[in-house]
């Protein structure tokens, strides 16, 4: 079976995955799949419905029935664009509680695998190259220092109207890393290329990934 062109981008929160993935998708003219948005979507919907985030059965049922799809403008939940809502600090603070549920992860990973098989895409997340598409011909592990990640997340939150304390944000990022690693340890996939984006522009990182895609024969040089 001939599989579609897929570039897997893994890495910790705040490493620049979303911006880089979007830019790579535009550069190569293929779809973008932000798997973190799926967990954020479930978290937002659970909070909106007043569900107990510790109730794995209820959260899994929600995840299994939730209708969402990806558009150039972001994720839609039940047909409504919810990109801004899923980036709210309350969702960011709670998403690890949702993603730690094994049943929820199983449901969303199954959907991610289906989407990956449906067409060319750049896919980002935490376990894309290890679990979702271990067959991807190009696998990237994108990382950055905690301080750099905090600065980037701070800029995004301030732009969205949510002023934050930089040091508090750095501590929150480190705490989230610890929680996430207890659930799904973050490691580079076999054969992945590690790119440290600390101090690099998005354009610089995109050029590196585009060159790797060209070297793998996925796109013209």
The predicted structure's pLDDT at residue 156: 77
29 assigned to some structural domain:
yes
What is the structure's pLDDT at 220?
Answer: 57
- The SS3 call for residue 163 is coil
In the prediction, which pLDDT does 219 show?
A: 66
166 vs 196, higher pLDDT: 196
Phi, psi of 191 (to 5 degrees): 85, 0
Where b means 16+ CB within 10 Å and e means fewer, 120-137 reads: bbbbbbbbbbbbbbeebb
Task: Say if residue 212 is exposed, middle or buried (CB neighbours under 10 Å; 0-12, 13-18, 19+).
Answer: middle
Domain count, the chain: 1
Which of 30, 11, 110, 13 is closest to 70 using CA atoms?
A: 30
Nearest alpha-carbon partner for 116 in 23, 9, 188: 9
CATH number at residue 74: 3.40.50.300
What pLDDT is attached to residue 216?
84
Average confidence (pLDDT) over 49-78? 92
Q: Is the pLDDT of residue 57 over 60?
A: yes
∠ CA 35-37-42 to the nearest 5 degrees?
A: 110
Structural domain span for residue 27 = 6-210
Judge whether 119 lies within some domain: yes
Q: Looking at the domain assignment, is residue 218 inside a domain?
A: no
In-domain check, residue 217: no
Residue 124: inside a domain: yes
What per-residue confidence (pLDDT) applies to 221?
52
Q: Coil, strand, or helix at residue 74?
A: strand
Helix (H) or strand (E) holding 76: strand 74-77
Residue 49 burial (C-beta neighbours within 10 Å; 0-12, 13-18, 19+): exposed
Q: Which residue has the higher pLDDT, 15 or 60?
A: 60
State residue 24's pLDDT score: 93
Whether the pLDDT of residue 88 is over 70: the answer is: yes
Q: How does residue 71 score in pLDDT terms, banded at 50, 70 and 90?
A: confident
The Cα 36–Cα 142 span in angstroms is 14
Does residue 40 sit within a domain? yes
Percent of the chain with pLDDT over 70: 95
Residue 215 falls within a domain, yes or no?
no
Helices (H), the chain: 17-28, 35-48, 56-65, 83-86, 89-99, 102-117, 146-159, 166-183, 202-215
pLDDT in tens, 107-162: 999 999 998 988 789 999 988 999 999 999 999 999 998 888 888 888 877 777 87
Nearest to 53 by CA among 5, 114, 96: 96
Average pLDDT for 183-202 = 89
User: Contact, 34 vs 115, CB < 8 A?
Assistant: no
Decide if pLDDT at 177 tops 80: no
Specify if 204 maps to a domain: yes
């Amino acid at each position: 079976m001939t599989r579609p062109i897929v570039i897997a981008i893994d890495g910790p929160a705040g490493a620049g995955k979303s911006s880089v993935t979007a830019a790579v998708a535009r550069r190569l003219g293929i779809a973008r799949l932000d798997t973190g948005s799926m967990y954020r979507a479930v978290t937002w919907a659970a909070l909106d419905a007043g569900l107990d985030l510790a109730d794995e059965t209820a959260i899994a049922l929600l995840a299994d029935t939730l209708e969402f799809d990806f558009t150039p403008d972001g994720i839609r939940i039940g047909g409504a664009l919810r990109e801004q809502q899923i980036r709210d600090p309350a969702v960011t603070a709670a998403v690890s509680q949702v993603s730690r549920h094994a049943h929820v992860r199983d449901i969303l990973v199954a959907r991610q695998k289906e989407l990956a098989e449906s067409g060319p895409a750049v896919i980002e997340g935490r376990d894309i190259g290890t679990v979702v598409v271990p067959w991807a011909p190009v696998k990237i592990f994108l990382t950055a220092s905690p301080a750099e990640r905090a600065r980037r997340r701070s800029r995004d939150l301030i732009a969205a109207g949510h002023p934050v304390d930089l040091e508090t944000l750095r501590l929150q990022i480190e705490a989230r890393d610890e929680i996430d690693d207890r659930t799904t340890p973050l490691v580079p996939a076999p054969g992945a290329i590690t790119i440290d984006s600390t101090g690099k522009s998005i354009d610089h990182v995109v050029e590196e990934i585009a060159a790797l895609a060209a070297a793998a024969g996925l796109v013209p040089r």
